[in-house]
Amino acid sequence: MVVRRDGYVRAALELLDEVGLDGLSLRKLGEKLGVRGPALYTHFKSKQALLDQMAETMLDDRLAPLDDPAAMDDWAEWLARRARTIRATLLSYRDGARLHAGSRPTGRSAMTPLIKPLLRAGFAEEDATHAILAISRYTLGCAIDEQQHDEGDHDEDPAASFEYGLARLIAGLRADVARSEDEMRGGVTTRDSGVRAVPSRRT
């Protein structure tokens, strides 16, 4: 049986739903596909390499529509939609959040495309990177908490709590960008020299 790399990854995601993260192994994946170990190791040097690819693939299809430049016109709405999409995707897989938390970026992963909408909005590059990471880590943390507890263990609505925190994070980012733009337009007076200086774009 000839299986392409992408086929192995998608089969592994199916297996994840069947046996959970702790039960997932290259051996079980081989049994599911009817292939021997060497065929798997041709594509994945270790179980971790497989997990890394699974974490990326599970999000690729869902996030692809957000790569459309038109979807990035409003950076705050784009960031919120991205967070909601990641949360929904991780929750749609058994142990999806744990899998993602334990993964490492693959060669295809890159921060540069993600920060472009924020750079256009006036973020400094460093601040744009921090913003993406902060939203992503908040989203992942919420998803992990939801998957580690049964629905009845929550005293509040997890979705509502997630939306509340997400809104506060984005509101803070909006305020920082607005303040930075005001400073760039007006400049800042330095107390030591009395010279009007244009501040850096760092928020």
Q: What is the pLDDT of residue 176?
A: 87
Residue 112 maps to a domain: yes
Residue type, 134: A
| Same-domain check for residues 39 and 115 | no
* pLDDT tens-place string over residues 17-26: 999 999 999 9
pLDDT in tens, 96-130: 999 999 998 765 556 788 898 999 988 999 999 99
Cβ proximity of 71 and 81 under 8 Å: yes
Q: 39 with 89, same domain? A: no
Query: Do 80 and 127 belong to one domain?
Result: yes
Tokens at 93, concatenated: 């897989």
Q: What pLDDT, in 10s, does the model give residues 121-179?
A: 889 999 999 999 999 999 999 999 999 886 555 577 999 999 999 999 999 999 988 88
Q: Are residues 94 and 5 in the same domain?
A: no
Instruction: Return the SS3 of 188.
Output: strand
Pairwise CA distance, residues 79 & 66, whole Å: 9
Q: Are residues 179 and 86 in the same domain?
A: yes
Domain match, 40 and 131 both: no
Q: What is the mean pLDDT of the chain?
A: 84
Determine the pLDDT at residue 152.
Answer: 55
With 0-12 / 13-18 / 19 or more C-beta atoms within 10 angstroms meaning exposed / middle / buried, residue 40 is buried
List the structure tokens of 6. Answer: 């992408």
Distances (CA, A) of 162 to 98, 106, 133, 153: 18, 28, 16, 16
Q: What is the Cα–Cα distance from 40 to 44, expressed in whole angstroms? A: 6
Above pLDDT 70, what percent of the chain?
82
Here the CATH number for the domain that contains residue 35 is 1.10.10.60
In eight-state DSSP terms, residue 153 is G
The total domain count for the chain is: 2
Which is more confident, 198 or 49? 49
Q: Is the pLDDT of residue 194 over 70?
A: no
Can you give the C-alpha Rg of the chain in angstroms? 21
Asked whether residue 26 is assigned to any structural domain, the reply reads: yes
The domain in which residue 17 lies consists of: 1-45
Look at 24-38, 62-76, 131-145, 183-197 and tell me which has the smallest mean pLDDT.
183-197
Sign of the dihedral defined by the CA atoms of residues 177, 179, 183, 188, in that order: negative
Residue 52 lies in a domain: no
Whose CA is closest to 101, among 52, 66, 45, 39? Answer: 52
Query: Are 85 and 23 members of one domain?
Result: no
Residue 58 scores a pLDDT above 80: yes
